[in-house]
Amino acid sequence: MPDDVTLAPAAAPRVSFEELYRSSYTRMVVVARLTVGDLARAEELVQDAFAQLYRRWGEVSQPHGYLRIAVMNACRSHERRRVVEQRHPVPPAPPTVHDPVAVAVRDALAALTPRQRAAVVLRYYEDLPERDIAAALGCRPGTVKSLLARGLRTLKEHLDD
Amino acid sequence: MTDVETTLRAGLAALASDTEARVSPPPVEDVIRRPVVVALSPRRRQRLLKVVGGVGAGVALTAGAAAATGTLPAPVDEMVAEFREWGFPAGGGATRMAVAEGEAGTYGLWLSLLDDGGYCYYVRLGGSPLRGEDGAGSACSHEISPQGPGGSALLGGWPATTGPGDDVVFGRVPAGSTAVDVVLGDGTSFRVEAQTDGWFVAVVPSSVADGISIDLRRTG
């Protein structure tokens, strides 16, 4: 069970695990990649999250919400591991994005703290309201406001450069 | 929308397109067979902690378990209010179900029963005003009965790996169990006894190096 799982009380229409997997896998990988910055790692984290969800499938009323929380928890855990890994840095992966706006945003996102980056991705890519971001990150809506405000300020500084 | 927000959305969309073009979901059968690594972490920056799970902690717990609405520490009261804000009818206050001592202070696992069934739980570092992302993990569920120790599953949260701060594990043992084994990737392990109604909380000793995997296994 993911640590900060918050299951919303209203039951959503139930889909099968396979349907959810097919419909959500790629989008969850996008979210994870935007958060952790590495595609291969993002796929690993998302697959771990699906494996968790599969084992809890019979107990979870809102699978997509559970999945998102599991992915964000996995991303957060990854950021902790990365602190260790950075003591033994490896060569960066070759760039794969050439769109100048995308490159600028990618580089600016890297300047954020992991929590700010997660909040920004959920707000501006997933278009989630603050309450849902708070549920996904296991914090208060007020904390989300703060994370977003500080994150945007940092992004502006980097994007204006 | 500000210029930053416009640029941000455009950049995210482009990055998303790049990702979508390069991702192909593996067979679902391969994914569901993956070993599960559960992430989580109420964490602080202190380095040295002792594990106090165990039967002895039950003594301290008795007093804590008496906490109820109106006598809760303010941060716990606020957390219960936040559960309600999230839509979970936690009208009955909260009860401390397990404790673990560490250099940073006392970690308490608090349980709020919901008026319509289910529960929320919340790990708090006592004496600290820090909560949420800084000091606690929380979870709510309508899915699992709070009556009696566990269902068939081991519930809870724990970091996937040790890191440069406290590594707190917490949860509830399955029915029929009285303890849980914390198994570390360096080949060591330690046992955490359940406290009230099967709930437990413990901290990985700081002598364990960073980057070591953490897993919890049912025992007993």
Residue A155's domain is classified under what CATH number?
Answer: 1.10.10.10
Q: Does residue A14 form part of some domain?
A: yes
- For A115, the closest of B16, B133, B155 (CB atoms) is B133
Q: How far apart are CA B78 and CA B90, in angstroms?
A: 12
Tell me the pLDDT tens digit for each residue of B156-215.
667 777 776 678 888 888 778 889 899 898 999 999 999 998 889 998 888 888 888 888
Q: DSSP assignment of A28-64, as one string?
A: HHHHHHHHHS-HHHHHHHHHHHHHHHHHTGGG-S-HH
Count the neighbouring beta carbons within 10 Å of the beta carbon of residue A42: 25
**Both tokens assigned to B158:** 């724990």
Q: How far apart are CA B121 and CA B166, in angstroms?
A: 19
CB contact under 8 A, A5 and B156: no
Q: Looking at residues A129-142, what average pLDDT do you find?
A: 84
Kind of pairing between the strands at B199-203 and B214-219:
unpaired
Q: Does residue A2 form part of some domain?
A: no
Q: Does residue A102 form part of some domain?
A: yes
Q: Does residue A127 form part of some domain?
A: yes
Q: Does residue A1 form part of some domain?
A: no
Are both A90 and A15 inside the same structural domain? yes
CB contact under 8 A, A59 and B28: no
Given a cut of 50, is residue A91 above it in pLDDT?
no
> What's residue B41's pLDDT?
36
Tell me the pLDDT tens digit for each residue of A54-88.
877 877 777 888 888 888 888 876 765 554 444 44
Q: Does residue A105 form part of some domain?
A: yes
Are both A88 and A102 inside the same structural domain? no
Are both A72 and A89 inside the same structural domain? yes
Residue % of chain A over a pLDDT of 70: 78
Q: Does residue A71 form part of some domain?
A: yes
B199-203, strands of its sheet edge to edge: B155-157, B168-172, B199-203
Beta bridge partner(s), residue B193: B179
Count the neighbouring beta carbons within 10 Å of the beta carbon of residue B129: 9
- For A81, the closest of B18, B20, B161 (CB atoms) is B161
Classify the C-alpha dihedral B143-A50-B21-A154 as positive or negative.
positive
Are both A65 and A139 inside the same structural domain? no
Are both A88 and A104 inside the same structural domain? no
Write down the ipTM of this complex. Answer: 0.83
- For B15, the closest of A54, A106, A135 (CB atoms) is A106
Q: Does residue A24 form part of some domain?
A: yes
Are both A27 and A55 inside the same structural domain? yes
Query: A118 near A68, Cβ under 8 Å?
Result: no
Instruction: State the best of B5, B20, B23 to mutate against chain A, taking most chain A CBs within 10 Å.
Output: B23
Tell me what percent of chain A is helix, strand and coil, each rounded to the nearest 5.
70, 0, 30
Question: What is the span of the domain harbouring residue A119?
Answer: 98-161
> What's residue B48's pLDDT?
22
Distances (CA, A) of A75 to B76, B183, B184: 27, 22, 20
Are both A27 and A84 inside the same structural domain? yes
Kind of pairing between the strands at B105-113 and B95-102:
antiparallel
- For B160, the closest of A25, A77, A97 (CB atoms) is A77
Residue B39 with chain A: CB contacts under 8 Å: 2-3, 70, 73-74, 76-77
Tell me the pLDDT tens digit for each residue of B110-151.
888 878 777 777 777 765 533 433 334 566 665 544 444 555
CB contact under 8 A, A47 and B34: yes
Q: How far apart are CA A148 and CA A139, in angstroms?
A: 13
Euclidean distance between the first and the last CA atom of chain A, given in angstroms as a whole number: 42
From B16's Cα to the closest Cα of chain A, the distance in A is 6
Q: How many domains does chain A have?
A: 2
Question: Nearest residue on chain B to A20, judged by CA atoms?
Answer: B28
Are both A15 and A78 inside the same structural domain? yes
10 Å CB burial of residue B110 (0-12, 13-18, 19+) is buried
Q: What is the mean pLDDT of chain B?
A: 70
Q: Is B140 an 8 Å CB contact of chain A?
A: yes
